[in-house]
Structure 1
Amino acid sequence: MNYRFLPLLLLFFMSFAPKSTNNTDPKLLANTNTVSLAAKIELVYNSLDANDFALPQMECFKRAMTGFYSLKQKGIVEKDILTVIDFSMSSTKKRMWVIDLVSNKILFNTVVSHGMKSGSEFATSFSNEMNSNKSSLGFYTTGETYFGKHGLSLKLDGQERGINSNARSRAVVVHGADYANPSILKSQGYLGRSQGCPAIPEALKEQIIQTIKGKSCLFIYHPSGSYDIASKLVA
């Protein structure tokens, strides 16, 4: 048995244990919980098995884990798989990570497309509106798979009202696409863009979709002040 991950597993399961009800000062308790959560996330990050991939930025990872724990505690997320997309990065970079939080291992790290109206090389503008052709930030849960015009695809349910809550009605899904293949970078200098979907390389879509389907957490990050103000999950 590999004992390396036992401390992480203990921290993970303890995070969902019922909170003690005593006469502790609520302000002190809140501060203690904040410190504990930050310490827990830092421990997970520093213990990640990168699997020869680059690590996500700490700030992006911290926000992703904060929302994951919140959604997991509410029973909205069921699988201990976290997908992180960092739209502060160039589309030429591998800015999507799929992380197994039980083994604490990065399973995939790949390029991913943003919406055509969100920007060219960099995504800078985001929307929850129908027909905007823009990406939406924030937390999603993965839904069911289906076969559409891009073959095997995965539906997403946005968990943040006004930020990504129209994802399903907009048909914002995870799918493979030729324009999301890294080879296109040589011809146009940046990855092809979608109508708002996080599109991934065709060669990886089967593996990634099968791994993350069925109530796992997906987080799309950008250091946007408007998102920080609107989001309730990373406040």
Structure 2
Amino acid sequence: MGNVTTKRKLVAGKRFATRILPFFAPLFFATLTAPSKTVEARSNVASHFNLDAEVKLNALKKSNFQMNLLEIYEQAGLEKKGMTFEVFDRAMIGYLNLKNAGLLSDKQLLSVVDFDLPSTKKRFWLIDLEKRKVLENTFVSHGKNSGGNMATQFSNTDDSNMSSLGFYVTGETYYGRHGLSLKLDGMDAAHNSNARLRDIVMHGAEYVSKDFINQQGRLGRSEGCPALPMGLHQEVIEQVQDRTVLFIHASVQPLQSRFLNQETAMEAFYKNDNLI
């Protein structure tokens, strides 16, 4: 996988260089042919050139980074599966920062929940970033006090019976009243750091099904846990257990997370071929 990833980045780098040259060539030749009146004037020109070049370089690096993420998004067919690029972009920035911080295993898996969608839509995705493939796309519940069909309120407080947003790292499995379940560790102090205290886990539930939607007009709701359909939850849990990312999104509440730093995610992406 390392060789394949390196080749992808090299190809992207060639495209990147091709786009850079038209910007830099005029500046370079203009500097060479400009009349040299004084040392101060030359210094000012050089400073302006360096600043202008650095701004363009950073802008192009960001553009190239976004193009790489867009390539993964398109190859995985995520738009057809109902995920917006904005949500995927945020999830990937968190994934890269968590991976670079050594908080994740070698599994190149990303789980995403988008609570901008109603419970009647399939708003959970499990993505294999190495194969650039959606492994699962299904229904997922929100907390009973977060809303009816739409989740609009979120909390990190114990006994709130609300869902919590942000980045989670999956932990260990156990068998509880819902069968096989998965512990979750919240990574964002402002949003989900009490996940363990609140027993917020991934599990299966009978009320997460198409039949329940047909009867009630929405999914059933949990006490804050991201519950998946029975019969499917075990397969998902077995794949994502032991230090993979779960990102839960909702645009109604701005996410305050140190893992949403695009600059550090870009730096990690360009320096480490093993991230994706």
3-state SS of paired residue (2:198):
coil
1 CA distance for matches of 2:235 and 2:61?
36
Unaligned runs of 5+ in 1: 15-23
Helix, strand or coil at the partner of 1:224: coil
User: In structure 1, the residue corresponding to 2:104 is in which secondary structure?
Assistant: coil
The gaps in structure 2 that reach 5 residues or longer are 13-49, 262-276
Deviation at 1:36, TM superposition (A): 3.3
2:258 equivalent among 226, 229, 232: 232
Match of 1:63 among 90, 94, 98: 90
CA distance in 1, matches of 2:125, 2:239: 12
> Does residue 202 of structure 1 match 2:230?
yes
Q: How far apart in 2 are the matches of 1:48 and 1:8?
A: 19
Alpha-carbon offset, residue 203 of structure 1: 1.4
Q: 2:183 aligns with which of 129, 147, 155?
A: 155
Amino acid in structure 2 at the alignment position of 1:156 = L
Separation in 1, partners of 2:217, 2:82 = 23
Q: In the aligned structure 2, how far is the partner of 1:194 from the partner of 1:208? A: 18
Q: Provide the residue aligned with 1:171 in structure 2.
A: 199
- Does the CA contact (< 8 Å) of 1:87 and 1:123 recur in 2? yes
SS class of match (1:206):
helix
SS at match of 1:156: strand
Describe the SS at the equivalent of 1:152: strand
Q: Which has the larger radius of gyration?
A: 2
* Bigger helix share: 2
Of stretches 113-122 and 35-44 in structure 1, the one that deviates more from structure 2 is 35-44
Structure 1 residues 28 and 233: alpha-carbon distance in aligned structure 2, compared to 1, 3 A threshold: farther
Shift of 1:231: 2.3
Verify the 8 A CA contact 1:182 1:201 in the aligned structure 2: no
Q: Equivalent residue for 2:19?
A: none
2:124 is aligned to 96
* Cα shift at 1:39: 1.9
Q: Which amino acid aligns with 1:211?
A: Q
Q: RMSD of aligned C-alpha atoms?
A: 2.5
Question: How big is the shift at 1:233?
Answer: 2.1
Partner of 2:155: 127
- Kindly provide the amino acid, as one letter, of the partner of residue 215 in structure 2: S
Query: What's 1:40 paired with?
Result: 68
Q: Distance between the aligned counterparts of 1:9 and 1:202, measured in 2? A: 41
**Quick one: distance in 2 between partners of 1:8 and 1:186?**
48
Identity of aligned residues (%): 42
Secondary structure at the aligned position of 2:131 is classed as coil
Q: How much has 1:8 moved relative to structure 2?
A: 8.3
Q: What's the CA shift string for 1:31-87, capped at 9, x where partnerless?
A: 45433332221111111156xx61411111111111111111111122210001010
Distance 1:32 1:232, change over 3 A: farther
The equivalent residue for 1:20 is none
Shift of 1:6: 3.6
Quote the Cα distance in structure 1 between the aligned partners of 2:141 and 2:194. Answer: 19
Q: What CA distance in whole angstroms lies between the structure 1 residues aligned with 2:126 and 2:236?
A: 8
Question: CA shift at 1:232, angstroms?
Answer: 2.3
Alignment coverage as a number of residue pairs:
218
Distance 2:112 2:101 in 1: 20
Distance 1:225 1:194, change over 3 A: closer
